[in-house]
Structure 1
Amino acid sequence: MKIGGRVDKISDDGLGVLEAHGRKLHVPFAYPGDVIKARKVRRRFGRKLALDFELIEWSPLRQTPRCPHFGTCGGCLWQGLKYKAQLELKKDIFERVTGIKAEIKGSPRLWGFRNVSNFIVTSKGIGLKEYGNPLGVVDLEECPVFSKRTPEYLRSLTGFLRETGLRPWNLRAKSGEVHYLQVREGKFTGEVMVNLIAHVEPSGEVLEAFKGHFSFADSLYWSLKADKRDDPRGEAGLVAGEPYIRERVEDVAYLIHPNSFFQTNSYALPLLLKAVERFTDGERVLDLYSGVGTFGVWLGKRGFKVGGVEMNPFAVEMANRNAQINGVNAVFKVGKAEGTSIGDYDTVIVDPPRRGLKEAAELLVKSGVEKVVYVSCNPKAFKLDYERHLKKAYRIDGAVLIDMFPHTPHVEAVVELVRKE
């Protein structure tokens, strides 16, 4: 029997949810108010998932999506949802998960805002993964959330593969030579970095072809991938151009390298940085999990004395370079968050990986520091850290959500934690 009915709510991970005949169904690309009839239902991750459905009646929250790949591509679950509704649902999900009411600030741009895209290069096509299908690939024509230049980038890659005869990656067999094309754009500088992730060392002829087809790039890398994991990572080697591109966020310049993590929405990044700044007190700030110094350098530019700790030596090198080019009082060191001596800092900024703080949360509890500013894209991890550890010493004094990821269920939270009396 086909399952159908009206979607009445949204799940914590952004799927429409309906209940019919005593059964609960999760529906990707469906929203509260939609009336749907499922065509294909699969059990995934302990729940029933509608991988294909007929839309019988539109929700008043629904809009016509801009991208022709919507509904198949896994990149934008919410592109069919009006932007105001996206923001309200993000607030609702965050409150449902954490119990915190927070204002939300929308992204200044809804299209062309992503400053990086990782296009998978496969025997089935070049583009992005299908939703719900680990072996499916959407052969992209365009990507309106990334760049107007996406067709140009993809044409250049296709021409390069045709000329060299290099084989795209086969997801099922885990074999092939070219696996990913990563493109980064400095949205405020216009600079472009192209990084090809491949399983072979390039010959001289291949490198010449690579430079010819991507002559527009300010920075051109070939990354050698030694493993068969399906991720865009490899040992980066500069082929041509500059070793870094720059992004400018208001009065701060950041250097970007293929192996750097940098917030993906350059236009909303000032909102995030200013939210962190607003919650920061005192003179001395510790930027824990500092990465390439995104927060620390910004705060240093505003007169704070910043120390940073990050376990990735390359990221620390980049953070100190960013501090140097901006002329700020910030020093970053290699170290583990949970092994850091907090000392006499007034505020600690934490932007942990998706799994959360874990052991470092107890370090903060015992430290005596008055203010913690917790930045998180994973509200469930924040809740665990707070309920299990931070709640012993800190109260929640404020929170703001920044929509760094339009057309997805994800949101960045900045939570102000103040030590209890």
Structure 2
Amino acid sequence: MRGVIEELDADGMGVLKAGRREIHIPFTSPGDVVEVKRWRRRKRKLIAVDFEVVQPSDERVEPRCPHFGTCGGCLLQHLPYGRQIEFKEDKLSRILGMSVNVKPSPVIYGHRNRIDVVISTKGIGFRKRGTWWDVVDIEECPVFGKTSAKVLRSLREFIGDHKPGLYEIGKNEGFLRYIVMREGKFTGELMVNLVTSEGTLPEDFPSYFDYADSIYWSVNRTKSDVSYGEIEKFWKLEFTRERLGDVVYLIHPNSFFQTNSHSAVILLEEVSKRVDGERVLDLYSGVGTFGVYLAKRGLNVEGIEANPFAVEMANRNVEINGVDATFRVGSDRGVGDLSGYDTVVLDPPRSGLHPKLIKKILKDKPESIVYVSCNPNTLAENLGKLSEGYSVEDAVGIDMFPHTPHVETVVKLKPKV
């Protein structure tokens, strides 16, 4: 089947229309002439798995990464960055039913402060797009930066010297499973975290990464294919640090932190300017990313987070920044009276707000809500339910994820009169 890509879908794939049939094709651009030889059905979509761009669109640019087109990490490197922003604005406008401007990332390569690299018998790198069992072997990740090449060289040297078992995906066999890199883009501090199955790590392992500020060994004792585990041991610093604006945050291997530090500064500024009053509830507060930043501006902040370890990290961040804020363990289903807060900041997981919390918000009617979302679909659903008592005052997108179809959104809501 041959035809011209007319548009991109919400997932960033080109759409080829043939009668009533639509085939979704990764790594393509509007204007591309494509030949599709084979496709398969996935989640009610027809996805091309064997195709060729026979005549590229004039819009395309040369991707910086040599693995573009096979690696599952980036989907849009072939589009000019301005076109990526337009795509995300169109996506948000379609899903949310309103015009939303997207603020671009100040840096579009070397912007990611974390990457999780698979160590397997298939290779050392990232999952091949469309598979869970295959790996694209890489030497460097351009969206993380030059440090990735240094760490991966050291890892391969360690493997060459000690011949440890590499993980066999699907069989739950082998010792080395992941190496996770975290880098403070504004502090320059580097953390290397080796994730293994249960076993013995050679004593000289840290010497291969002596340039890192923090070196961790984590053990995943489960069959789950995840890039974290129980902390077995660490060398040098217990935490690395990142600075966003005038706030310093401690980074731990098992902490969630915004993956684009450059855009995270913009995100914090956009949230801060939408906060009204003095008393703020930071719900789904994590390590205090928003709450500590707002407390630095003199606001009275209380944070609630379900993960006890994240709460511990948030309170450490309060201490090192010398601010007045309190973070505690709690559930989004059991929050107290919300009416006493001037602003409630919401940053839920991709699944969105719990229905009980939505009912609680509509009942208590806090004076202002700032909703931060990485999933426009669940955001749209939640806004629809909140519209019983709230109206959207404004919204802005922030590109936290260049070269991917993902986008962060900040929405301010006020009670209806």
1:368 corresponds, among 343, 365, 369, to 365
Structure 1: which amino acid aligns with 2:279? R
Out of 156, 159, 169, the residue aligned to residue 158 of structure 1 is 156
TM-score by length of 1: 0.96
Deviations 1:359-381 (A, max 9, x none): 32222111220111000010001
Q: Does 1:217 align with 2:212?
A: yes
Partner of 2:380: 383
- Give CA deviations for 1:132-167 in whole Å, capped at 9, x if unaligned: 122111000221101112121111111222223221
Give the Cα separation in 2 of the matches to 1:209 and 1:148.
24
User: Does residue 167 of structure 2 align to residue 169 of structure 1?
Assistant: yes
Native 8 Å contact 1:37 1:53 kept in 2? yes
Write out the 4+ residue segments of structure 1 that deviate beyond 4 Å after TM superposition.
none
Matches within 5 A, 1:20-419: 20-203=18-201, 206=202, 208-341=203-336, 342-359=338-355, 360-387=357-384, 389-419=385-415
Normalising by structure 2, what TM-score? 0.97
Distance 1:302 1:310 in 2: 21
- Whichever residue aligns with residue 86 of structure 1, its letter is Q
Q: Which runs of 5+ in 1 are unaligned?
A: none
Q: In angstroms, what is the RMSD of aligned CA positions?
A: 1.2
Give the conservation status (yes or no) of the 8 Å contact 2:148–2:181: no
Q: How far apart are residue 238 of structure 1 and its match?
A: 3.4
Letter in 1 for 2:223: K
Give the AA of the match of 1:9: E
By how many angstroms is 1:18 displaced?
A: 1.0
CA distance in 1, matches of 2:18, 2:258: 40
Instruction: Please identify, of 309-318 and 19-28, the stretch whose mean Cα deviation from structure 2 is larger.
Output: 19-28
What secondary structure, in the 3-state scheme, does the structure 2 residue paired with 1:337 have? Answer: coil
CA distance in 2, matches of 1:78, 1:20: 24
**Cα shift at 1:231:** 1.4
Deviations 1:24-49 (A, max 9, x none): 10000112111111233222222211
Would the aligned equivalents of 1:283 and 1:346 in 2 still touch at CA under 8 Å?
Answer: yes
| Cα distance in 1 between the residues matched to 2:139 and 2:199 | 29
- Mapped partners of 1:213, 1:37: distance in 2: 47
User: What secondary structure does 2:333 align onto?
Assistant: helix
Percent identical among aligned pairs is 49
Q: Structure 2 counterpart of 1:27, which letter?
A: I
Which position in structure 1 is the counterpart of 2:6? 8
Letter in 2 for 1:47: K
Other structure's SS at 2:387 match: helix
Residues paired across the two proteins, number: 415
TM-fit CA distance, 1:97: 1.1
Paired residue type of 1:348: V
Separation in 2 of the partners of 1:311 and 1:172? 31
- Is the Cα–Cα contact under 8 Å of residues 163 and 209 in structure 1 kept in the other structure? no
For 1:283 and 1:254, the matched residues in 2 are separated by: 23
8 Å CA contact retained: 1:29, 1:77: yes
Q: Which amino acid aligns with 1:413?
A: T
Give distance in 2, aligned partners of 1:190 and 1:402: 23
> Tell me, which stretches of 5 or more residues in structure 2 are unaligned?
none
| Matched AA of 1:194 | V
1:60 to partner: Cα distance: 3.1
Q: Is the 8 A contact 2:41 2:47 kept in 1?
A: yes
Query: Separation in 1 of the partners of 2:59 and 2:374?
Result: 24
Contact 1:164–1:209, Cα closer than 8 Å, also in 2: no
Check whether the contact 1:160–1:209 (CA below 8 A) recurs between aligned residues: no
Q: Deviations over 1:69-96 (max 9, x none)?
A: 0000011100001111000010111111
- Structure 2 Cα separation of the partners of residues 224 and 365 of structure 1: 44
The one-letter code of the counterpart of 1:393 is G
Mapped contact 1:358–1:385 kept (Cα < 8 A): no
**Aligned-partner residue type, residue 110 of structure 1:** I
2:158 corresponds to which letter in structure 1? F
Which AA in structure 2 matches 1:273?
Answer: L
Deviation, 1:55, is 1.2
For residue 376 of structure 1, what is the amino acid of its counterpart?
S
